[in-house]
Amino acid sequence: MRRFALIIIILTLSCVFAHAQEFTATLSEERVTVPDEPNRVGLQMVKRSLMFGPAAIRYQQLVDPKQHDAPVVQRYADYTLGLYFPRYTWNWDLEYFLSVTVTRPGQEPVNTTRAVLQEGMYILQQGPRVMADMVWPLPPAPGRPAAKMAVRLIALADDPQWLYLRAGVEGDPEAKISEVRLHSYPTTTSGPPERQRWVTTLTRSVQMGSAVAPLQPAEEWGLVMHNRMAQEEGGTLLVMDPREIKSVGAVGVYPIEVQMQTEGVSEVHVAMGYFRETPWQKAVDSFRQAAPERLKRLQALDWTAPVDLAGWQKHKQEVEELLKLTPASATEFGPEWASVLAHADEALKRLAATPGDSAAARNFVLLNRQARDLKSRLYEPALKALIEQATR
């Protein structure tokens, strides 16, 4: 009976993994040594590309392995954090769309997206709701616990022209996000000399210049970034949660930079959208009408990563059954499985103590996926063992 059950498990696995191409999010990563040039000998470029739902993010950072992967920026493109939304076009900044500054007690503020090499990008959910995290460690600080800054992104299949973003600090309850900056190039980058960059809020329009234009977050929490005099039929949309923002300003005639100073919070939430092939006046009218509901959706959004306990128990049982089939499998994969078990138990304990622990939830989702991947690697040796036993 046990052999029959194991055969069913293996056949089921072959069907599940045959349909992996149905996933709607992909992540590619590479680390390459750059050509040897003066001051660049031995340096490496870390590259990550995340495609999820209607959006894509490209990250790259030049690092010095001899200095514990310290970031190096000597020229253009040594650092990039770009958002393609919609894909294959400008609107949001394809090079430097986001910066998040974190302040810790007794420490100088830190631009977290540039100070340290990104830890990684992680796909946490696919289907009607696509969720992904980008994670940066915070630089070590004397007397402070180890901490991270995580950017969680959510795209919804029923809301394809909007992307929801949460920047949050993990691991240090006294660390606060002090500022978030977003960059966009409404329609595109270059334009004719007569083109003007404008920000239209829920109450007024402001022409952009070289000086920061102060806005009032209590009334101007919704923004349309657009052009006049040329390239008038495309732009970007932004909704921020006014409960989190102390002050906000906008500046720039090339990119428009929105600068949000916070109320000393550990998380900041925004909704980012766009319009195309629509006159800016019409886009503004539509945005102003829909903005209250958009804010409600932002404030009510479930940011929780899916913790599949039933799936974990199933993976756990099946991996342990498959490991028992051959001594070679137990020897080769046993230590990896023991590590997965230990880390999963730790994550579950943290979630039991604090159900909203986003770092623990992310770790558990990734460990669950690792267990499923381990099952797939155990499939072939397990099948061979069953065949050998059946033909004796």
pLDDT value of position 11:
42
Mean pLDDT, residues 360-384 taken together:
85
| pLDDT tens string 182-209 | 999 999 999 999 999 999 999 999 999 9
**Degrees (nearest 5) of the Cα angle 147, 151, 152?**
120
Give strand pairing partners of 245: 262
pLDDT value of position 12:
44
- Whole-model pTM? 0.89
Q: Which helix (H) or strand (E) holds 180?
A: strand 176-184
Q: What is the mean pLDDT of the chain?
A: 91
User: Does the pLDDT of residue 7 top 50, yes or no?
Assistant: no
Mean pLDDT, residues 139-158 taken together:
94
| pLDDT tens string 252-263 | 999 999 999 998
Asked whether the bond before 86 is cis by omega within 30 degrees of 0, the reply is yes
User: Does the pLDDT of residue 356 top 90, yes or no?
Assistant: no
**Degrees (nearest 5) of the Cα angle 385, 389, 392?**
135
Reference 164, options 297, 45, 292; nearest CA is 297
Domain segments of the chain as ranges: 24-300, 306-390
Q: How confident is the model at residue 175 (pLDDT cuts 50, 70, 90)?
A: very high
Cα(75)–Cα(80) distance, integer angstroms: 11
Q: Are 103 and 115 contacting, i.e. CB atoms less than 8 angstroms apart?
A: no
Cα(344)–Cα(337) distance, integer angstroms: 10
DSSP reduced 3-state for 380: helix
Environment class of 221 (CB within 10 Å of its CB; exposed 0-12, middle 13-18, buried 19+)? buried
| pLDDT tens string 282-340 | 999 999 999 999 999 999 999 999 999 999 999 899 888 888 877 777 888 889 999 99
Q: What fold, for 24-300? A: Beta-galactosidase; Chain A, domain 5 (2.70.98)
| pLDDT tens string 33-52 | 999 999 999 999 999 999 99
Environment class of 273 (CB within 10 Å of its CB; exposed 0-12, middle 13-18, buried 19+)? buried
What tokens were used for 60?
């790259």
Beta strands in 74-139 (DSSP E): 79-84, 98-103, 110-111, 120-125, 129-137
Reference 268, options 226, 302, 298, 308; nearest CA is 298
